[in-house]
Structure 1
Amino acid sequence: MTAIKIQNQRAVINRRKLAAAIADEVALTSAEKARPRVVELLRQALADGRTELARRLQEKPSAGHECTHGHAFLMDQLIRVMHDHVVNDVYPAPNRSTGERLTIIAVGGYGRAEMAPHSDVDIAFITPSKNTPWCEQVIEALLYFLWDLSLKVGHSSRALDDMVRMAKQDLTIRTALLEGRYLWGDQNLMDEASRRFWAEVVRGSEAQFVAEKLAERDARHKRMGDSRYVVEPNVKDGKGGLRDLQTLYWIGKYIHKVRNAAELVDVGLLTKPEYRAFRRAENFLLATRCHLHTITGRAEDRLTFDMQPQIAKAMNFADRTGKSAVERFMQFYFLQAKHVGHLTGVFLAQLDEQIASKRKARGLLAGFRSKPRIVKGYRVGGGKIAAPHDGWFQQDPVRLIEIFQIAEEDGFEVHPETMRMASRDAGLITAKIRKDKRANELFIKLLTGRNDPEMVLRWFNEAGVFGRFVPDFGKVNAQMQFDMYHHYTVDEHTIQAIGLLSHIERGELTSEHPLLSEIIHKVSSRRVLYVATLLHDIAKGRGGDHSVLGAEVALKICPRLGLDENETELVSWLVAQHLLMSATAFKRDLSDMKTIVDFVAEVQSLDRLRLLTGLTIVDIRAVGPGIWNSWKGQLLGELFELSEERLRLGHKRRGRAERVAQRKEDVAKLLGDQAHIIDDLDNRFDDSYWIAEPDDIIAINLPHYAAAREKQHKLSIHAEYYEARGATLVTVIGDDHPGLFYRIAGAIHLAGGNVIDARIHTTRVGKAVDNFLVQDPLGRPFKETSQLERLRVSIEDALANKIELLPQLAKRPNARARSESFEVRPRVSFDNDASERFTVIEVHAKDRPALLNRLARAMFEGNLMVNSAHVTQFGERAVDTFYVTDLLGEKLKAADRRQAVEEALLDAASEQVEARQVEEA
């Protein structure tokens, strides 16, 4: 029996005292009548033990091994007491036959003595042969006691022969038994079960077990997101989590029969420093899991946003300048996940070497094994590049960069044993090496490699060399941002962005990114674009504006990397302005020429425009799945084309009349036989409509308007899937009246849609022509006929006052329930310089269904005319931008007027106000 060492065991549970109390109850009446009292005693012992272990975890919040061993010990003692009570008092059998024997084995995580507070109790009952009535009675009684304690029990009951047969057939059963630990019962039977398991199940199946376990691991990773750096990781099953460490132990135990993880060093699968890293990571992950179970009161393994701040506090993480406690906790978590990934690589490589060395060459060609070849001083074989000897990097630390550069250039994988050496020797990268000209040349070649820089930079990072060579990058290693927008840590996001640049440059994403695929080959300097991508988020977590701070970092790093003065200034500008293009495209009205004028004034040249476009696209795309969509691509493309035109033509641009004439000509081509509608309605639409709307939307609006006029419809609502923008176009044509915009916005929300863009027009005869682009809460368009009809009916009912918008909207659940974990303080800003005709109002607030409706209503009540609205979502945060005038068509110039509007909008954006309305509704 493997003993679990627990300090002051009797404070957790006193088995003898508990057994004596049960015996006293039985002596007073009988086992059957005493049962309720026995269950009560067991339940109290379980509760007291958990309370004591929770107290110990609070005192030592990072003691994962102690906590899990403690809960396993508590369960051991309870099951032993139950067993003895059942065997001695409930079903006593003084003259048992050889078949009436039973052993209880703890399996799975319980077998390893790793139980979080609410882990399943996994046990196996083993009998010599088919269960006798006595064995069945004892097993059933034990299970009922466990269930009465509200424990989730995973159990099996098998005869020895069945155990062997089923373990051979089922990987899960084999893995569970692999960790079997004698718990109680017949010791001889346990010994026989163990002997037969190793002799009949394990022997000869080692290679199959390893292959199946690795396939199982890969499938689990794919199911969990296939990245160690997702911002809501699964502590148990996620990549870099506990299950990955357990897989290493299972493989080591299956092949070498190790009894614990420490023996992985003895059999050569881990070095002593690697084993210490194994234990540190395991201890931290176990502690995190214990806190998750304790706080939630259930078996919860997902480190969700609402849990992260609570666990950071429980584990004594504190705020630091530029980083909150939760961000520091999660950075430490991801560093452990990174260590797990590194350990997995070197472990499997060592295992592969051991297996290969045992294989004996057979056949006529046995003596003609291919020998490794030498490439630039390195051994290359089987597609892997390796250092020729153990002191290779110590002789010349620049080789720590060189080997990765060669691997990228020639398409090699770095041999895991060499990865182990690189990780060990990463500390050799000193200030002297960082200033070395050859080292920096090699790094730039690696960064801008044309084969697969993303994969090799990831290895470079996991070996710990990246952060040593670029210390500023090391500071953002494993750093997460506590929000719903960023899906990955900063270093992983950056490496993915570089990978996207490489894929696009190689022509692999032409259909997804046609614009960048075309212009990427026209930039003045590839390395400027790649270095800017590397540095664009380098200053996150320092406090202050990371764009400004990052630009300062670029001025220091670029000359060291070999960039000339012009390239350095260009990289610094790109880093400083890397959010400019997305902010302009998504939060400004691109039909307002002042938007383009201001943007071009900052960009100044075609080369800067191309570089900034490239950086913007890969930055957004690398944020996470679902963030990039055709709507964003269309807006960025439109901004690029308008800016390119102005940069090419300078001030010799077309005037307003020429632009309108050109637009009409383009729309006529789209309308074909219906082109006469343009002349028919020429007295209805003024120039601002023709300039504001894209050709294809006008070509949809005009026939719709003409049909409504012909049929004398007072209200006409049209909804269709608009593929070019990845959204649904909703057009409302009717008599213009105050409050029309906020009512339509509210109705769209009630139908389950989110407005992402809106343009409001009034014709010369007082008709409203309002265009809305709509998506669902997950950023997808409405396509189905039933969805489009729901939108139409909801708008119709709202405009006919058939529904009360405010109470209905207040009742709607937030589609982004996870956003409740975040606090977003509303703020309002005004810009009278961004447009010649309008005041631009930006409202930052927590995203929720009723937000746009509430803001639009506040502006209606404040006597403002909304010309266009642009909605951008960043996870839990929304930025709604409005182009407005007062009722006389003037900008909001008076400070007191702006203050009154600001107060009304802040009130509308407030969650507290909304909460009161929910109660009233």
Structure 2
Amino acid sequence: MSDMFAHLDDRRAIIDRRRLAGELDEIAADSKDGGARRRAMVALLKAALDDGRAEIERRLLARPSSGRLAASATAFLIDQIVRLSHDFTTGHLYPANNRSAGERITLIAVGGYGRGEMAPHSDIDIGFLTPFKQTSWTEQVIEAQLYTLWDLGLKVGHSSRSVDEMIRAAKEDLTIRTALLEARFIWGDRALYEQASARFDAEVVAGNARAFVADKLAERDERHKKMGDSRYVVEPNVKEGKGGLRDLHTLFWIGKFIHRVRTVPELVDAGLLSARELRQFERAENFLLAVRCHLHILAGRAEDRLTFDFQPEIARRMHFAERPGKSAVERFMQLYFIHAKSVGDVTGTFLAHLDDQLAARGRRFLPTIRRRPGKLNGFVLDRGRLALPTDGFFRDDPVRLVEIFALADKYGLEIHPQAMRQARHEAKLIDARAVRRIARANALFLDVLTSPRDPETVLRWMNEAGVFGRFIPDFGRVVAQMQFDMYHHYTVDEHTIRAIGLLARIEQGQLKEDHPLSTVILQQIQSRRVIYVAVLLHDIAKGRGGDHSVLGAELALRVCPRLGLSDAETETVSWLVRYHLLMSATAFKRDLADFKTILDFAGLVQSPERLRLLLVLSVVDIRAVGPGVWNSWKRQLLSELYDAAEEVLRLGHKQRGRESRIASKKEAVADMLRLDEKTFAHLARRLPESYWIAEPVEVIAANLIHMQNAGDAPLHIAAVPDDDRGATLVMVLAADHAGLFYRIAAGIHLAGGNIIDARIHTTRDGLALDNFLVQDPLGRPFAEAEQIVRLTRAIEDALAGRQKLLPKLEARALPRPRAEAFTIAPNVFVDNKASNRFTVIEVNAQDRPALLNQLAYALFQSKVTVHSAHVATYGERAVDTFYVTDLIGDKIDSPARVKSLEKRMLEAAVSNSDAAVAA
């Protein structure tokens, strides 16, 4: 037996191969029927497999962080199952007493199984080797053994090759070459295995180290790109993601290919890891393996993505407890990201050692960017990378821990991994020598933060080295801190660094098409330092148990003077941090056509400079949340709010009068449509003044065409894609009646649409003109003719009452296990101060299919008229806002009515069916 599993305690409690072998012999003796023998064997081995897995899970729960032990125990269990089934197959099912030289088989474990690391539901990667082309007997044995493993419920990745075929395949395919690199003898003909192993070393490995390393690093980069290229995504892939197990495997494969090491500790003797880095490697591997084993057990299948629905239970299994301001799951995920970061640290220094071993003198094996540096202040260049002249260079002057990053930014240099390792080791000097109070250190840090080049990359290096969190201790508190929700895709530190990178790219004009207004504004602001520092600090107080905006604003008053900002700059940064959510909340949750919304917003902002800064901060904050969060609809709303508030702040209350605004819009619409004067006047007269104030010119033009096409029809529905808003404008002209809004909402949902905005109007001749902005489930407009037809037909059916809406809505709802991992306590706010004309109702609730429809039905039951609806979603949280009046057009201000309305809306927000629609 291999000593690979010698560290496992009481292996017979996992599986007793000797006892099972005796029972299998008894099975063979009791029956001569091959089929009966095989069925009895499978039943016995299946029971042994289940018992072994149960024992491994028991041990894992007793020691929940012992990932390596659980992974080794699983590989050991599978080894014994494979050996028993092979012996039974060759000894009792297909015995061959006088085998020829070609009738030999060796069973090898490859890939992770070969390495002796298996999660409970990992694939079993097994190879059947024969000396020459297969004989009929070897074919029978291999087929029988595979069927046995499949009948046991195991997922088997297998190959059947002669030794020549194995060598040829390894030369041609990188994946096969890598899998065979970890090949391990399981059972069968040992001499054949030794022969194959020797030929693999001589014919595949020897002389091919450089090509293998280049191929594996390219494969790694492609995998990172596919998985999101960040180790700080909040639903990481434990195996394939950046900072995951596969990155550690890649290092081992490279070391094994070059130096033929058998175990990870041997990488130290090979000069590719230091003893300290080996400890980092082993701690990270053990933790990640534990997480992966727990994940497989909970999922009941091979699952490597650590999604929200599994995170809380794994945190509980691994004995994480809540702390003030931080939940157990957030503490668990923070440790996960710390280990993922550790994997990155080990990778960097490993590659530096590798570069030294493989490169020719004075050159580099791995690619680099060549720069001609200026004055390096004592630092030196090592093959084009910024390096240290002596081991004590940082200790002699700890300010150099910041300076090295400032020089890297200034001259576009990479930092040598050995220097990065030294920086990580010496980062504690920033505490010991009060570096934070030294003006030169703060000036250097501010140079990096506000760099006109690539601050994102250098700040990420600084964060990886641990210098960032030491120099700004409050930033250190959010390093690797996740936000347990479906809205934020990254940890707080990664989100912040990405936001700074976006700010730099916008300022450089690289995102002019996506952010034209912000690109212009950044050239107009008075202090670049203010916006960069505000982006750095906007989320820095998260996880402290209070409102992070308020706490962050207080913190800014301490940090900004230290960084060298003036009193005026400090005050502005503090204000921006305090109100960094104000603009997005106003734009996405409030009716921008209601002038009081603009006045209230402008009253808080108070100055055009603050408005400019707040817009840019809002844009980079939203976009840095994650892929797909930013869209043209959000850009449109923020731009509308900015333009309206800028006019108020610039002109005060000397706004154009209501009549002149309406006249201006009518003129613009007339120019756009080019209708004859009589036709335009007839259509325009049908619309009340409030409509002309509320809708933008493009929507009015689309509505007038819609009305003209409708003629005298009692119902007319049209849908027009609106690329500027990233949505489809759905227009419904119908006889006004109670319940119209909730039925239209139901129809749109049944067609697969999500409503992001809605405005409800009544024409002077008593018809309802309702405008909805609708997106598909992926946040795109409905653009294809087939989609448009489906959308309009679903609304027609809902309004005609052709089907029971509730059963259809419930049937359409899909299970959302990730969303169900969160609990959002619903809240309803009824506000009579936010608008002069309307009562504003804001509902915060857990997002679910048809929520808007159920809330609209509750409003219908409450006998209120909806004038506009605004929908915002933040991952699993929905915020739906309604501007309403009573049936005669007055605000709802009676305390009894308000209380009743709150109660009914709360019931609708909580229930999936109680508040749902009738026929």
For residues 454-494 of structure 1, the C-alpha deviation after alignment (integer angstroms, 9 at most, x for no partner) is 11111111111111111111111111111111111111111
1:233 aligns with 2:206: no
1:479 aligns with 2:481: yes
1:39 aligns with 2:42: yes
Structure 2 counterpart of 1:204: 207
Does the aligned pair in 2 maintain the 1:373–1:381 contact within 8 Å? no
Q: Residues 595, 46 of structure 1: CA spacing in aligned structure 2 closer, same or farther, 3 A cutoff?
A: same
Three-state SS of the structure 1 residue aligned to 2:881 is strand
Tell me how far 1:820 sits from its aligned partner.
2.6
Three-state SS of the structure 1 residue aligned to 2:95 is coil
Does the aligned pair in 2 maintain the 1:677–1:703 contact within 8 Å? no
Which amino acid in structure 1 is aligned with residue 838 of structure 2?
F
Structure 1 counterpart of 2:450: 448
1:290 aligns with 2:293: yes
Listed as ranges, the matches of 1:248-647 within 5 Å are: 248-357=251-360, 375-380=376-381, 382-430=383-431, 432-647=434-649
Query: Which stretch shifts more, 816-825 or 225-234?
Result: 816-825
Structure 2 counterpart of 1:891: 891
Take 1:112 and 1:402, find their aligned partners in 2: how far apart are those partners?
43
Take 2:374 and 2:251, find their aligned partners in 1: how far apart are those partners?
31
1:787 aligns with 2:790: no
Tell me how far 1:282 sits from its aligned partner.
0.5
Does the aligned pair in 2 maintain the 1:717–1:732 contact within 8 Å? yes
Three-state SS of the structure 2 residue aligned to 1:654 is coil
Structure 1 counterpart of 2:831: 831
Tell me how far 1:370 sits from its aligned partner.
12
Take 2:661 and 2:218, find their aligned partners in 1: how far apart are those partners?
61
Which amino acid in structure 1 is aligned with residue 150 of structure 2?
W
Does the aligned pair in 1 maintain the 2:24–2:41 contact within 8 Å? yes
Does the aligned pair in 2 maintain the 1:829–1:843 contact within 8 Å? yes
Tell me how far 1:682 sits from its aligned partner.
4.4
Structure 1 counterpart of 2:658: 656
Which amino acid in structure 1 is aligned with residue 804 of structure 2?
E
Q: Which runs of 5+ in 2 are unaligned?
A: 365-369
Structure 1 counterpart of 2:219: 216
Take 1:684 and 1:555, find their aligned partners in 2: how far apart are those partners?
56
Take 2:103 and 2:790, find their aligned partners in 1: how far apart are those partners?
68
Three-state SS of the structure 2 residue aligned to 1:830 is strand
Query: Which stretch shifts more, 63-72 or 121-130?
Result: 121-130
Q: Residues 39, 558 of structure 1: CA spacing in aligned structure 2 closer, same or farther, 3 A cutoff?
A: same
Tell me how far 1:893 sits from its aligned partner.
1.4
Does the aligned pair in 2 maintain the 1:373–1:379 contact within 8 Å? no
Structure 2 counterpart of 1:847: 847
Structure 2 counterpart of 1:10: 12
Q: Residues 409, 42 of structure 1: CA spacing in aligned structure 2 closer, same or farther, 3 A cutoff?
A: same
Which amino acid in structure 2 is aligned with residue 433 of structure 1?
V
Tell me how far 1:39 sits from its aligned partner.
2.0
Which amino acid in structure 2 is aligned with residue 248 of structure 1?
L
For residues 171-201 of structure 1, the C-alpha deviation after alignment (integer angstroms, 9 at most, x for no partner) is 1111111101121222222222111111111
Three-state SS of the structure 2 residue aligned to 1:237 is coil
Which amino acid in structure 1 is aligned with residue 715 of structure 2?
L
Tell me how far 1:742 sits from its aligned partner.
1.4
Does the aligned pair in 1 maintain the 2:362–2:383 contact within 8 Å? no
Listed as ranges, the matches of 1:841-920 within 5 Å are: 841-913=841-913
1:70 aligns with 2:109: no
Q: Residues 459, 897 of structure 1: CA spacing in aligned structure 2 closer, same or farther, 3 A cutoff?
A: same
Q: Residues 662, 118 of structure 1: CA spacing in aligned structure 2 closer, same or farther, 3 A cutoff?
A: same
Take 2:817 and 2:661, find their aligned partners in 1: how far apart are those partners?
46
Does the aligned pair in 1 maintain the 2:309–2:817 contact within 8 Å? no
Take 2:869 and 2:282, find their aligned partners in 1: how far apart are those partners?
54
Tell me how far 1:377 sits from its aligned partner.
2.2
Q: Which runs of 5+ in 1 are unaligned?
A: 362-368
Structure 2 counterpart of 1:762: 762
Tell me how far 1:211 sits from its aligned partner.
1.1
Three-state SS of the structure 2 residue aligned to 1:616 is helix
Take 1:109 and 1:602, find their aligned partners in 2: how far apart are those partners?
59
Tell me how far 1:83 sits from its aligned partner.
2.6
1:667 aligns with 2:674: no
Listed as ranges, the matches of 1:145-184 within 5 Å are: 145-184=148-187
Tell me how far 1:350 sits from its aligned partner.
1.6
Query: Which stretch shifts more, 175-184 or 593-602?
Result: 175-184
Structure 1 counterpart of 2:367: none
Tell me how far 1:30 sits from its aligned partner.
3.5
Take 2:836 and 2:134, find their aligned partners in 1: how far apart are those partners?
88
Q: Residues 683, 89 of structure 1: CA spacing in aligned structure 2 closer, same or farther, 3 A cutoff?
A: closer
Q: Residues 674, 429 of structure 1: CA spacing in aligned structure 2 closer, same or farther, 3 A cutoff?
A: farther
Take 1:384 and 1:610, find their aligned partners in 2: how far apart are those partners?
39
Does the aligned pair in 2 maintain the 1:2–1:181 contact within 8 Å? no
Three-state SS of the structure 1 residue aligned to 2:724 is helix
Take 2:891 and 2:916, find their aligned partners in 1: how far apart are those partners?
32
Tell me how far 1:210 sits from its aligned partner.
0.8
Structure 1 counterpart of 2:55: 52
Does the aligned pair in 1 maintain the 2:167–2:204 contact within 8 Å? yes
Does the aligned pair in 2 maintain the 1:552–1:572 contact within 8 Å? yes
Three-state SS of the structure 1 residue aligned to 2:685 is coil
Which amino acid in structure 2 is aligned with residue 406 of structure 1?
L
Three-state SS of the structure 2 residue aligned to 1:522 is coil
Tell me how far 1:796 sits from its aligned partner.
1.9
Tell me how far 1:634 sits from its aligned partner.
0.6
Tell me how far 1:384 sits from its aligned partner.
2.3
Tell me how far 1:94 sits from its aligned partner.
3.8
Query: Which stretch shifts more, 251-260 or 770-779?
Result: 770-779
Tell me how far 1:29 sits from its aligned partner.
3.1
Tell me how far 1:767 sits from its aligned partner.
1.9
Take 2:199 and 2:106, find their aligned partners in 1: how far apart are those partners?
15
Query: Which stretch shifts more, 227-236 or 448-457?
Result: 227-236
Does the aligned pair in 1 maintain the 2:854–2:916 contact within 8 Å? no
Between Structure 1 and Structure 2, how many residues are aligned?
910
Which amino acid in structure 1 is aligned with residue 452 of structure 2?
R
Q: Residues 294, 171 of structure 1: CA spacing in aligned structure 2 closer, same or farther, 3 A cutoff?
A: same
Take 1:799 and 1:872, find their aligned partners in 2: how far apart are those partners?
25
Tell me how far 1:372 sits from its aligned partner.
9.4
Does the aligned pair in 2 maintain the 1:256–1:267 contact within 8 Å? yes
Q: RMSD in angstroms over aligned alpha carbons?
A: 2.1
Does the aligned pair in 1 maintain the 2:363–2:383 contact within 8 Å? no
Structure 2 counterpart of 1:364: none
Query: Which stretch shifts more, 501-510 or 886-895?
Result: 886-895
Q: Residues 159, 374 of structure 1: CA spacing in aligned structure 2 closer, same or farther, 3 A cutoff?
A: farther
Q: Residues 31, 240 of structure 1: CA spacing in aligned structure 2 closer, same or farther, 3 A cutoff?
A: farther
Structure 1 counterpart of 2:719: 719
1:79 aligns with 2:82: yes
